Structures are given as structure tokens and as C-alpha cells.
Amino acid sequence: MDTPLLTRDPTDRRRPSHISRRGGHAKRRRRTTISRESYALLLILAAAAVLYAWAIGRSPVHPYYSAAVRSMAADWHAFVFGGLDPSGSITLDKIPGALWPQALSVRLFGPHTWAVVLPQVLEGVLAVWVLHRIVRAWAGPLAGLLAALALTLTPVTVALNRHNIPDTLLVLLLVLAAGSLQKAIGTGRLLPLLVCGAWVGLAFQAKMLQAWLVLPVFAAVYQLAAPGSRLDRVRRLLLGGISALVVSCSWPLLVWVVPAAHRPYIDATTDNNPFTLVFGYNGLSRFGDDPQALGAVAGTAASRTTGNTGWSMVVNQTVGPQIAWLLPLAVLALALGVWWRAGQPRTDGPRAGFLLWGGWLAVHIVVFSNSNGNHGYYTTVLAPALAALTGGGVALFWAEHRAGGRRRAALPVAVGLTALWAAAVHGPHSEFAPWLLPVVLMLGLCGTVGLWTSGPHTTRRAVHSALAASLTAVLLAPAVWAASCLHPRYPGSSMEPLAGPVGPGYQDRRQRPAKVPRFPLNQPSARDTALLNYLSAHRSGEKYLLATQAAYGAEPLLRATPQPILVMGGFTGLTPYPTAPQLGDLVSTHQLRYALLTTRRPSTPASAWVKKRCTPVPPSAYGRGTGGSLTLYDCAGEK
């Protein structure tokens, strides 16, 4: 894709004749350059592996997802359908694609926290490597290495890759899709476009509709820059779109055609329809005013987040330090990269690359800004676009700086703006790493002045030193925030992984450093052990160990044991399964004896049936104190 336009040395006019006169020396130098690049890439990948994998056995994994992972690892039926418990009575409130690698890891290595997180580590490192290859093919070796390093050091990416939330796999699959699209644009062949659609479809299995946000950008860039007639491009796009649609809908279609009696009930739906789960509960209800769109169950405080929305979402005091450090550089790279390529042929590769990553960035920001609320870690999907624009922009600015002329000012301006922006992002948190702000500003000043004042008589070492200071100023702040995830005080919470001194996880650790739960697998608390022992001792052939009101009470038990547990009402507790008559049938046929109700979830017909027909068990019998939020009921002799 016309890579030399971004990476050539415009001042070296005699290189072709020099190479022809000294071919052997040039080959040796080229081999040395390749070796240095490979060595640098290995260092970046090693840094990514350390940041993502260090002490993952102590990672505060998500209690809901890790409970489902253990269940899916214990039974293939639950694995395929995403059963929340090993019996597969009810599904997750998501498509289970992102949890399949985790469940396979637990099945292979056993129920350990590190086994849950290991696939995320591998997916994160692989995303860095893939992005390097894509950006290198687009903008050259320097751009590829910088993009890989920027992605590695993105704070929210580090926090998430040390966790088990689905966005890590989403990012990897979308980056793979972007690489296939780039190849389709460059070659004009249909197969890479079909592969691109397949990668997007697999990303849909990880995060559903969010995976489709890149499709308008991919289609527009392909239509603009791919070779061939307009009609041919439209035909190929339609086939690529069909590929994305078929792969995306494969799991919902599979579930839809299987009779309801032979699969779990679909959580978060009132009609047991997988398409309601995808397009209603996890789709329209998150943007419109109808919380029960398409037959979905209304979300609750446990299933919906508020805040982190509006046009300032990406740069607020919580989300900004996670993702926004490179925003000025990326925006400037996008603007100048497109402007400077004006007048080039329609199929111009460098311009297509800037439009691809810039469109990726813009579409996600617009959608996040208009949703009902976002977790801060959602923004990790912005990291590849920011990293690619950073790498491509610096490579372009460096080439123009060496060529001279008015465009040479772009690099020092970009560095200066990014350093000042880092001061604004870090400023509200200056008590964290108080040395960081002055160091970044000093390095930014030195780099900016050094690059601005360099001229034909400036030594090569001086120019490269200024460039090194500039790159350090740009990447140091996100690197420090990313490294904070290795400290037990700063990895965020189990349900909100964030880097640095922000978010509820950090506040909890400050106030109660010894009481913050990590929700490990196979390590029940003393209270949960006492409850499990009581239930096992009084079990006499029932299918279910017990029934719980919503996932809240089931999660710690599912993480500790592969025994079937009936999760009444699913994640929110509002899903109409099982109904009161169905619950009564389970009790009367001796498939269920005990039920665990909680005051932290709304009452339902099923929980009302338990309270009316079953007998409370004294809390002391199963290791609980009085006044707690959970109450165990014995339905053996229903009233």
C-alpha cells in the first residue's frame, strides 16, 4: 500500500546509486536493520507479556463471568449455550463467545484464577503483534513499532488484559478484521474482504452489536479506496457484509432452532428468544427510552451503568487517564495525514489508512457519547485506533521533518501539544506519581525545542536525541499509569478494571485495604464453605444443589463447585424463569429442596412462592449470622 510515501528518507537523494555501487554492504546493513526491528518488537511483546501476566493469580476477576466460566468448563452443553450453571438451566445475559477460551483454559488447567485470565493475556499480546504487522504494512517499520508500543502501554488495555471481561477478545478480532480490510483494499481481491467480515462476525460473538460499529467505516473506506469499478466494489462489499452477518448470527440462529426443552432459557428475555437478548436487552434498551425493547427484561442497577456518557466522556477525570493520552497526536495525524494526501489517486493507500483508523476512533466516540451509560473499560476499543494513528502520524511527521520545509513543524507541534495535554489529564491526580508531571513537561520542552531548532548543520545524534525525548514525553505518562496495574492498590475493581487512582475499586482499597474481594475460583469463603457443607450433607438425590434468587447468591457457589444451581430470574433476578408453577413442579418431583433468597434483588412470583411455601432455615445451621441479606429456605415439606 505505497508504504515508502510515509517512511522514506526525503533527504537521501543518492541512496540508489550508493546501493548499486556497494550492494554487499547495503545487504548487510539491511539485515542489521531488520534484526534491530525484530529485537525491538520482541522487547515490546515481552513488556506486554509482563504487564498483562504479572501475578494474574491474584487478579480480581469478574464474579459473574468467572462463575459462568467454571460452569461452562464443567459441561459441554453449558459450554455451547453459555449456561450459567453446569446444568444449563439458564444462560448468561450475553453471547458466550468471549468466555469460550476461558472455559477451555479452565477445563485444561483446572479451576484457578490464573487459568481464567491466561487467555486474556494471550489475546492482548497477540493484538499487539497483529497491530504491528498491520501498521508496518501501511506506514513502515517505525510506525509499526510505535503503534505496538502505544497499544501495549495504554492503561485501560493493561487493566483489562489482566481481567476476564469480553472486551479484550473484541479488540483482537476487530484488529484482525482491520488487517484483512487493509489487504482487501490493497489487492482488490474478494477473499480478504470475506475474511474481514468473518472476523467482525466472530467479534460479534464476543461483544454483540458493538462489533458492528466498525462496519460503516470499513464499508466507506473500502468504497473510497479499493480498486475496481464502483459497481464491483459495491458487489464485493455486499458479499463481505453477508459474511459478517452469517458469522455474527450463527450462535443466535443455533439457539433459535434448538427446541426450548433442549437448551437453557435465554436470560434477560421475556420470550426466551436469543435475538431479544442480542438486539433488545444488549442493544436498543441501552440507547432508547424503552428498557424492555423487543421483549427484553428491564435492566437494573446491577446490569446497567450510568455516567461516563456525553461528549466529554473520553476525557473526564476517570476515563481520560485510561485512554486519552495520545488523543491530540492522533487527531493531528488524522487531519494532516488526509490533508497532505489531497490530490492523490482515489486508491491512495496512506490516506485510506488514516481514514480507516480515524473513522474507527470517531464512530466509537460518537456512540459512547450518546449511550445511556458506559463502563470506563469500554474505551479499550479505542486503543488500536489511537495507537495506529500515533504510529502512522509520527512516521509521517518524522519523514517531513527530515525533508525540511514548512511541514517539518508538524512533529514538534504534535509533541508539544501532547505533552501539555498529558499535564491536563494527569493534573487532577497529581498526588499519584508527583514526579511525573514535571518530567513529562521537561522532556516535552526539550524534544519540542530540539526538533524545532534543528537544521542542516545539526548533528544526527542531536536530532535523534530530540526525537527520543519527544517520544518519551508522549509515552511516559500512559506507561506509568499502565504500570500501576501491577500494584495491588491500583488495578480497579472486579467489575470495573481501571488503572491508577480512579474508580470505585481504588476508593475501596483506600478505605478497606484488607476487605476488598478478589472472587477467586475454587476458594470459597468460610461462610460459603459452611453453606456448601450444609447443602451437601442434606442433599438426597435432588438434581439441583439449591435455587438462588438471581445470580447474586449463586456466583460464589458456582465459582467454588461444579454442582448444578438453579438461578431464578437470571442475572437481574427479573427474567421470568422459572415460573412459580415450574418451581413447584421441581420441588414436588424432588429435583429441588433448598432456595436462597436475597433482599438485594426485587421480589418475583418465584421468590414469593418460596417465601409462602418453604420454611426458613436458622442461619446458625449454615454458618450465617442474623441480619444478613441472604436467607436459606427448606422446601422439603412445603406448606
Same domain membership, residue 437 and residue 539: no
Same domain membership, residue 530 and residue 479: no
Same domain membership, residue 550 and residue 460: no
**Helix (H) or strand (E) run with residue 142 in it:** helix 141-152
203 within 8 A of 170, measured Cβ to Cβ: yes
d(CA 353, CA 343): 16
> How many structural domains are present in the chain?
2
d(CA 537, CA 528): 14
Q: In this predicted structure, what is the pLDDT of residue 136?
A: 98
Q: Which residue has the cell 444462560?
A: 91
390-418 burial: b if 16+ Cβ within 10 Å, else e: bbbbbbbbbbbbbeeeeebebbbbbbbbb
Domain end among 431, 450, 483: 483
d(CA 186, CA 1): 6
Domain end among 418, 451, 483: 483
Tell whether 148 is covered by a domain: yes
Tell whether 65 is covered by a domain: no
Same domain membership, residue 537 and residue 464: no
What Cα–Cα distance (Å) separates residue 415 from each residue in 393, 440, 445?
Answer: 11, 11, 9
Domain end among 458, 483, 508: 483
Predicted TM-score (pTM) of the model is: 0.93
Q: In this predicted structure, what is the pLDDT of residue 96?
A: 97
* Residue 427, φ and ψ in degrees, nearest 5: -50, -50
Same domain membership, residue 530 and residue 414: no
Domain that holds residue 47: 4-60+115-252+305-483
Same domain membership, residue 535 and residue 477: no
152 within 8 A of 51, measured Cβ to Cβ: yes
Q: What are all long-range contacts of 586-592, with beta carbons under 8 Å and residues at least 24 apart?
A: 586/543, 586/544, 586/547, 587/613, 587/635, 587/638, 590/541, 590/542, 591/542, 591/543, 591/544, 592/542, 592/543, 592/544, 592/546, 592/547, 592/566, 592/635
d(CA 149, CA 158): 12
Same domain membership, residue 550 and residue 469: no
Q: Which residue has the cell 498483562?
A: 52
Beta bridge partners of 630: 598
Q: In this predicted structure, what is the pLDDT of residue 4?
A: 41
Same domain membership, residue 479 and residue 624: no
Tell whether 243 is covered by a domain: yes
**Helix (H) or strand (E) run with residue 466 in it:** helix 460-483
Q: In this predicted structure, what is the pLDDT of residue 292?
A: 86
> Which residue positions in the chain have pLDDT lower than 70?
1-34, 508-518, 639
582 within 8 A of 632, measured Cβ to Cβ: no
Number of Cβ within 10 Å of residue 77's Cβ equals 14
Q: Which residues does 293 contact at the CB level (< 8 Å), separation at least 6?
A: 280, 281, 283, 284, 285
